[in-house]
Amino acid sequence: MGRSTGNDGGTRTNEPRVLRRDEWDTWYGSLTRAFGGAVEAPERLALYRELTRVDRSIGVWDGAECVGSAGAFDFRMTVPGGAAVPAAGVTMVGVAATHRRRGVLTSMMRRQLDDVRSWGESLAVLTASEPAIYGRFGYAAATFHLNADIDTVRARPAVPEGTDDVRLRYAAPAESLDACEAVYARLVPGRPGMLARRPGWERTGVLDPAGERGDASPLQCVLARRGDEVTGYARFRVRPGWSAEGPDGTVELKALAGLDPATEAALWRFLFDIDLTSTLAVRGRPVDEAWQYQVSDIRRCRPSLGDALYVRLVDVGAALAARTYQTPVDVVFEVEDAFCPWNAGRWRLSGDPKGASCERTTDAADLTLSVRELGAAYLGGVSLASLAAAGRVREVRPGALAEASVGFGSDVAPWLPHGF
Ligand SMILES: CC(=O)SCCNC(=O)CCNC(=O)[C@H](O)C(C)(C)COP(=O)(O)OP(=O)(O)OC[C@H]1O[C@@H](n2cnc3c(N)ncnc32)[C@H](O)[C@@H]1OP(=O)(O)O
């Protein structure tokens, strides 16, 4: 770091160092400004202050001014096979516009990945403000999500048997939090990419600052029950609207979870049917969610895909051994990793649906790729065969690509349940 030309006349900046709690306001203020400077709601600010792990956060200072920030939550993320693997949730990354493009981010990524390795965490994950930023540091998009603006007048859901047995009742979002979290916790092991809720994180789902609603309703919650058991929930707002033809409101879905297909269908049907609305706006849903296959007209749902979680294998051997493989795999990867050279070289992965090992080897390579391709394929959402077709994976031993590609797949699409 330290290229000495810049908008501030060439003042040198320093190496990143760990944040102190009393520096948080300055540090976070610098981050907010890097994101454009809009003022955040006090409730959101207070929660993020509480959730920040200052001991895992770093800043770059130029005199008394904070010019770079980066943090890392300590998540547990589900990987294929169901294990909850420690993953550093990289967050709050920003560099002052006066100090941009002179290596401040690079110095923070260097320090952070060294730190993550020293904490014994084999994965770092993030959501990117811009996809072009993080590839050079070894991250790759590993999960995608589905957005839709559903015309609920013309696209109608067909529900499975048992849906009518599910009872729905309104509940206050904050008061029903424990019941919702119990449902969420049961779903976490079943889908790669899901994050076990850490203390405090459950509150992000019911933050409801009045200043962020515009003309929409406060957050609403409906609980689903089968018998006495809470089996699901949906949180949403309603944004009323009127056109010359009549009511034209929008339901904005914020969260939905169900323990069984009938519960999920009952919640979706409810959201389709709220009076005085004609659009159901959904963002960030799993790409394989059932509602898409229940609607009468998918085109009227205006679906679109978005990139979601970026994965970086910080310790290739430990990360690949932490997940399982849906069919037997025995392949040698030749891995290129310029930013974390401890990963570079040959690794033999032997795995099946029960478990896996991944060790250093001197055997000949079967497949060559960079750590980014392993990150993309890690959760089973991007196939190694597709990456090979894109010229990013090279097959040396005939048959190795199909073997690894099928083995890395996941029957359930990986999904990031919330931003961070
Ligand atoms: C996980 C999260 O928090 S995502 C949020 C990221 N933060 C933001 O988007 C806030 C606004 N932007 C910023 O704060 C800064 O511009 C940052 C953090 C994106 C980049 O910081 P900088 O200190 O300027 O990056 P740095 O100088 O280390 O750049 C390293 C390389 O990345 C490239 N790069 C940096 N930002 C971008 C970008 N937005 N798009 C494409 N390339 C980029 C640089 O050109 C440079 O390339 P080179 O090595 O080929 O010369």
pLDDT digits (tens, 9 = 90+) for 53-84: 999 999 999 999 999 999 999 999 999 999 99
ipTM: 0.98
- Nearest CA, atom 1, ligand 1: 91
Distance 360 CA to ligand 1 centre (A): 33
- In short, whether 309's Cβ falls inside 6 Å of ligand 1 is no
- What's the longest Cα–Cα distance across the chain? 73
Q: Which atom of ligand 1 is nearest to the CA of 107?
A: 28
- In short, whether 103's Cβ falls inside 6 Å of ligand 1 is yes
Got the DSSP string for 214-227?
A: TTSPPPEEEEEEET
Distance 93 CA to ligand 1 centre (A): 9
Alpha-carbon span 216 to 114, nearest angstrom: 44
Angle at CA 353, nearest 5°, toward 348 and 356? 30
pLDDT-above-90 percentage for the chain: 96
Q: Provide the mean pLDDT of the chain.
A: 96
- The fold adopted by the segment(s) 316-408 is Nonspecific Lipid-transfer Protein; Chain A (3.30.1050)
Q: Give the active site residue among 272, 310, 408, 420.
A: 420
Q: Give the active site residue among 134, 139, 325, 378.
A: 134
Tokens representing 74 are 């300590």
Phi, psi of 229 (to 5 degrees): -90, 135
Res 12: pLDDT? 53
Is 249 marked as a binding-site residue? no
321 Cβ contact list (under 8 Å, min separation 6): 349, 351, 356, 357, 358
Res 13: pLDDT? 58
Which value, in Å, is the radius of gyration of the alpha carbons in the chain?
23
| Domain 17-121 class in CATH | alpha beta
- Nearest CA, atom 38, ligand 1: 133
**Domain limits of the chain?**
17-121, 145-306, 316-408
Alpha-carbon span 76 to 319, nearest angstrom: 13
CA 174 to chain centre: 23
Asked if 343 and 330 touch (Cβ cutoff 8 Å), the reply is no
Phi, psi of 4 (to 5 degrees): -100, 15
Alpha-carbon span 393 to 311, nearest angstrom: 17
Res 14: pLDDT? 85
* pLDDT, mean of residues 285-294: 98
Is 28 designated active site?
Answer: no
- In short, whether 342's Cβ falls inside 6 Å of ligand 1 is no
Is 134 designated active site?
Answer: yes
Is 93 marked as a binding-site residue? yes
pLDDT digits (tens, 9 = 90+) for 188-203: 999 999 999 989 999 9
- In short, whether 108's Cβ falls inside 6 Å of ligand 1 is no
- DSSP single-letter state for residue 129: S
Tokens representing 356 are 């896996």
pLDDT digits (tens, 9 = 90+) for 251-266: 999 999 999 999 999 9
Asked if 256 and 281 touch (Cβ cutoff 8 Å), the reply is no
* pLDDT, mean of residues 216-245: 97
pLDDT digits (tens, 9 = 90+) for 344-397: 999 999 999 999 999 999 999 999 999 999 999 999 999 999 999 999 999 999
- The fold adopted by the segment(s) 145-306 is Aminopeptidase (3.40.630)
- For residue 150, the number of C-alpha atoms closer than 13 Å in the C-beta half-sphere is 27
pLDDT digits (tens, 9 = 90+) for 143-187: 999 999 999 999 999 999 999 999 999 999 999 999 999 999 999
Q: Per DSSP, which regions of 63-143 are E strands?
A: 65-78, 84-95, 123-126, 140-141
Res 10: pLDDT? 45
Asked if 144 and 306 touch (Cβ cutoff 8 Å), the reply is yes
106 Cβ contact list (under 8 Å, min separation 6): 1, 137
Is 284 marked as a binding-site residue? no
Res 198: pLDDT? 84
pLDDT digits (tens, 9 = 90+) for 101-151: 999 999 999 999 999 999 999 999 999 999 999 999 999 999 999 999 999
pLDDT at 9 over 90: no
Is 40 marked as a binding-site residue? no
Common-topology check for domains 145-306 and 316-408 = no
Q: Which atom of ligand 1 is nearest to the CA of 126?
A: 1
Mutate to test the pocket of ligand 1, among 33, 48, 67, 101 (most ligand atoms within 8 A of CB): 101
- Nearest CA, atom 47, ligand 1: 101
- Nearest CA, atom 8, ligand 1: 94
Asked if 59 and 17 touch (Cβ cutoff 8 Å), the reply is yes
Alpha-carbon span 289 to 282, nearest angstrom: 12
Res 322: pLDDT? 98
